[in-house]
Structure formats: C-alpha cells, structure tokens
Structure 1
Amino acid sequence: MKKIILSIVFFVAVIQQSNATQWMTSFEDAKKLSIATNKLIVIDFWATWCKPCIKMESDTWNQPEIQELLNGFVPLKIDIDVFRKVSNKYSANRIPYVLIVDANGEVIYNETGYKDKSQMLKVLKKFTINTSALQSDYASFNKEPNAEAAMSIAEKYYDTSIYVNDDVENDYMNLASNYLRMVKKLSTKKEYKEKYEQKVDLLDDAYRLLLRGKSEKVLEILKNKFKESEIASENKGLFDFIHFVAYKKLEDKDNAKLWYDKLKTDKNYKFYLLKSRKI
C-alpha cells in the first residue's frame, strides 16, 4: 500500500511541475490524481460541434468563481467523439453532460444540459469535500477491485453523509449502497455469507435508516433480523452503536444507557461516540 501511495504522489509531482492545462483528458490519470489529492472528479462530457458545450465553456467553466471552486476537484474533459469508451461507460448520449465521480469512477452526481454560472456554483459548493479518509481504500480498490476495500468505502460514505449538507446526504448514502452491492459481487458466496453479509445488512438495513431519522423502524429491524448472541465480534461495536443512537433519539434514557455501557467496551468507542453527536 505504501508503494501505491508513493507512486501516486510522484505522479502528482510530475503534473505540478509541467505546465499542463487545468482540465485533464485521461480518465485513468484523473482517477490517480483524485486519490493523491483527496478530491472528487468533475467530468464535462462535450464535443466540438456542441454549441451549448462551447457556450458553457466560456460562460460557466471559464468564470473566475467557477475556476476557484474547481481547485477543490480534479477537472476532466471528455470529448465524446474521441474517448468513446468512457463516454459509453457513462451513457453520455446527450451533452453537455456533467458528472461528479469518486476516485473509482462511481457516480455521485450527474445531470444533462447547459448549466450557467450560478447553477454550477451551487453544484460545486455542495459536493466540495476532502476524501483523505478514503485514500488508502481508493488506492487498494484502484489497484484491484476487492470486497474488503468496497466494504470500507461503503461504511465511510455512510459516515460522510452525517457531515455533508442535507441536500446531498442521500447522494452519499446511495453511493454507499452501490459499494455494498459490489461487496457481494467481489466475494464468493461462502466468503460473503461468513465474512460480509452481517455487516452489509447492519449498514444497509439499520444504519441507513438510522441516518434518515427512522429510529423506531431501526429497532424493529434489529429485533427481527439480528440476535445479539450471533453478532460477530468485529460487528459488535456497530451493532451496539446503532442501538444506542436509536434509543437516544427516542429519548429512552434507560435503554440508551444500557447500550452506551455495551458500546464503551469497544475499542472504537470514542469514534462511535463522536458520530453519535452528529446524527
């Protein structure tokens, strides 16, 4: 993993030393730069014959306020007539087409049509985020997609939804669910059943609802779907945390105290407690 990070840092140094234009054109290089700089990627699908695209270039992308916000992203321009593989991957049939994706190319935001400066400012402001907490997971997944990294990324995206603006929290939760589906695809049936299924269910069934403020439904799911005696040791902290926060939200002090005491035995207790204050 250290070698991966070092190679990416070297890549950034090369980019910075050259007088390259702000917009990149290589999707693979943009993903590497995204990992190294802890930024999401903005993709502008366009074509030389697209009049709205040309207008958007001058009236939107080249405006100083937009340029400033783009410093918080890795900007990538894809000419749909030149880079057909990437264009087909994202079904870029109508342009202008703007996407915001993570370092693995997973879509967080996408919208077709001309966007003026004020519209694009709102989008960029909402999705500006530092992804340093995901850097090692991105690097691992970028090198070779694997269930372990997908699981870690999914949980961190759920956590991210706690701290972002309310109008984009669902975007991050949906992205988390996408990665959890990858966990199943990237593991054998036996491996998924024995190692991942319980945590996937806790995150996608219970934690997601908890973040949406549906505490009563959370407790109902936990009661009907999970037995405390069957919770794997590595999932115990998450299990106790979800119970604690749900009861706390319902102002059930006795049960909240009961699960708080259980949570305190987990090695990540302080991390969970910090999250509980934000939910």
Structure 2
Amino acid sequence: MKKLILPFIFLLLFTNNAKASQWMTSFEDAQKIAIATNKFILVDFWATWCGPCKKMDSESWSNSEVQALMANFVPLKIDIDVERNLSSKFSIRSIPQVFILDPNGEIVLQTKSYMNKEKVMRVLKKYTYGNKLLQQEYLNYLKKESGDNALKIAEKYFDYSIYVDKEVKNDFLKLANKYLKITNKLYKKEGDKKKNSQRIGLFTDAYKYLIKGDYERTVKNLNDDFKEDKISPENKGFYNFLYFTAYNKLKDKDNARIWYQKLKTDKDSKNLILKSRRI
C-alpha cells in the first residue's frame, strides 16, 4: 500500500500548488489525485482545431466563478488527436464533450456540445460532492481489480446515493449498478460467478427501490424473492434493515417493530439504524 500512497503524496503537493485553471493531461495521474483528494474527475475532451472547444476555454473555463467550482474536481483535458485510445474508450465522436468520472474512470455524467458559463456552473454545482466515503475502496480496487473489491464500491455507491440531492440520485444509483455488473464479470472471470449472488440481488432490487422511495415495491421484492430462512448469516442484518426501513416508511408500526427487534440483534445494528433514519 505504501507504493500506492507515496506517488499520491507527490502528486498532491503538485496539485496543491496548481490553480483550478491548470488542467492535468495525464489520465493516470488524475485518477491518483482524485483518490488522494476525495474528488471526482472533470474531463474536457477537445482538439486544437475545435472552434467550440476554444470558445469554451475563453468564455466558460476561464471564468472565475467556473474556476471556483472547478476546485472541487480534478480537471483533466484530453486532446483527442493525442490520446486516441482514451478517446476511443469513451466513444468520443464529436467535441467538445465533458465528463465527470469517478477515480476508477467510471462515468458519473456525460455532456455533449458547447456549454456556456451558466450551463457549466449548473453542472458543476450538481456534482460538487466529495468521495471520502469511498477512498479506501478506490485504493483497494486500484491495487487489485477483484469481484470483492468491485462489490464494496457498488455497496458504497448505493449508500452514497442516500446523501446526494434527488436531482442526481439516479446517476449514482446507475453507477452503483454498473459496479454490480463489473462485480459479476470479475467473479465469472475468477471462476465463481455465483459468489455473493444473494447480496448482489438484495442490492440490485430491494435496496435500489428503498433508496428511490418505493417502499411497497421493496417489501414486495423481499417477499417474492428472498425468503427469510434462506438468507445467509452475513446478509441477515442487511435483510432485516431493508424490511424495517420499508415498513417504518410505510408507517406500518406493527411490522416495523417486528423487524426492528430482529435488526437489533445484528452486530452492525447501530450503523444500519442510523442509515435507516437517513433514508
């Protein structure tokens, strides 16, 4: 882990002395800075011959109000004529295109075409969230892309979506689901495609509906697809939490009380109850 942290410290020192207007040009370095500073990556795909790109530089990115918001991100400019592989990876067919990425390079937001100052500010304000909650998970995943590490990131993004505004909640839920797909691919690659399938199912269906506020569908999904006597010990607390929270939100006091008593027996009950109150 020390081999990972030391380059971060060097890059942090460099970044702290840089201004918001000083774009990075290395995707790999931007990823490391993003992890070290608990920020998302703001990517501008551009080219020297692109008129709208130059207009964004002069009218949008150079604006002091925009730059103040940019300080909440790791700014990265990618010249599509230089970074052809990266441009291909993100299917860049027209420019300018602006992305907000997590430190692993997964897409949080993608916009196409020129944006004036006002639109850029609206976008940046929406996604001005730190990702300290996921820092250790990012580090673990950077060190080893495994199904277990991808699943931990997915779980954290589900939790993360509880705390963001409704306007962007679905974007982070989509990102969480994307990491669940990555988890399944990695488990398959690792030779155990059914690993943690029950927990993945609880997140994919019941927890997603719970976060969205569809409490009746949460209960229905649990009733239909997850029988209590089939729940594995490691998922028991989370299962009880889902039922308790859904019934509590539905103001079904009798059922909420039943599942609260079950939830209290779990070793992580305090954290789960706090999370329940947040939803």
Q: Note whether the superposition's TM-score is higher than 0.5.
A: yes
- Give the partner amino acid of 1:34: A
Shift of 1:21: 6.6
- Give the partner amino acid of 1:191: D
**TM-score, L = length of structure 2:** 0.95
User: In the TM superposition, what are the counterparts of 1:61-80 in structure 2 within 5 Å?
Assistant: 61-80=61-80
Structure 2 residue 90 is matched with structure 1 residue 90: yes
Shift of 1:199: 0.6
Structure 1 runs of 4+ aligned residues shifted over 3 Å read 14-21
CA distance in 1 between partners of 2:44 and 2:74 (Å): 11
CA distance in 2 between partners of 1:173 and 1:68 (Å): 27
Question: Unpaired segments of 5 or more residues in structure 1?
Answer: none
- Confirm or deny: 8 A CA contact 2:97 2:110 kept in the other structure: yes
Question: Unpaired segments of 5 or more residues in structure 2?
Answer: none
- Confirm or deny: 8 A CA contact 2:66 2:121 kept in the other structure: yes
Tell me the secondary structure at the aligned position of residue 81 of structure 1: coil
Structure 2 residue 104 is matched with structure 1 residue 136: no
Q: Structure 1 pair 10/237, CA: closer, same or farther in 2 (3 Å)?
A: farther
Tell me the secondary structure at the aligned position of residue 187 of structure 2: coil
Q: Which residue of 2 aligns with 1:12?
A: 12
Structure 2 residue 232 is matched with structure 1 residue 252: no
Q: Which residue of 2 aligns with 1:169?
A: 169
Shift of 1:62: 0.6
- Give the partner amino acid of 2:237: G
The count of corresponding residues between Structure 1 and Structure 2 is 278
Shift of 1:2: 5.1
- Confirm or deny: 8 A CA contact 2:20 2:71 kept in the other structure: no
Tell me the secondary structure at the aligned position of residue 36 of structure 1: helix
Q: Deviations over 1:116-160 (max 9, x none)?
A: 111111110110111111111111212231111111111111111
Please report the RMSD computed on the Cα atoms of aligned residues, expressed in angstroms.
1.7
Structure 2 residue 125 is matched with structure 1 residue 117: no
Q: Structure 1 pair 184/271, CA: closer, same or farther in 2 (3 Å)?
A: same
CA distance in 2 between partners of 1:146 and 1:122 (Å): 36
CA distance in 2 between partners of 1:108 and 1:206 (Å): 22
**TM-score, L = length of structure 1:** 0.95
Q: Deviations over 1:21-68 (max 9, x none)?
A: 720001111001111110000000011111110000011001011101
Q: Which residue of 1 aligns with 2:104?
A: 104
Structure 2 residue 192 is matched with structure 1 residue 191: yes
Tell me the secondary structure at the aligned position of residue 41 of structure 1: strand
CA distance in 2 between partners of 1:159 and 1:77 (Å): 30
Shift of 1:3: 4.5
CA distance in 2 between partners of 1:160 and 1:253 (Å): 27
Shift of 1:191: 2.9
Tell me the secondary structure at the aligned position of residue 187 of structure 1: helix
- Give the partner amino acid of 1:9: I
Shift of 1:190: 5.9
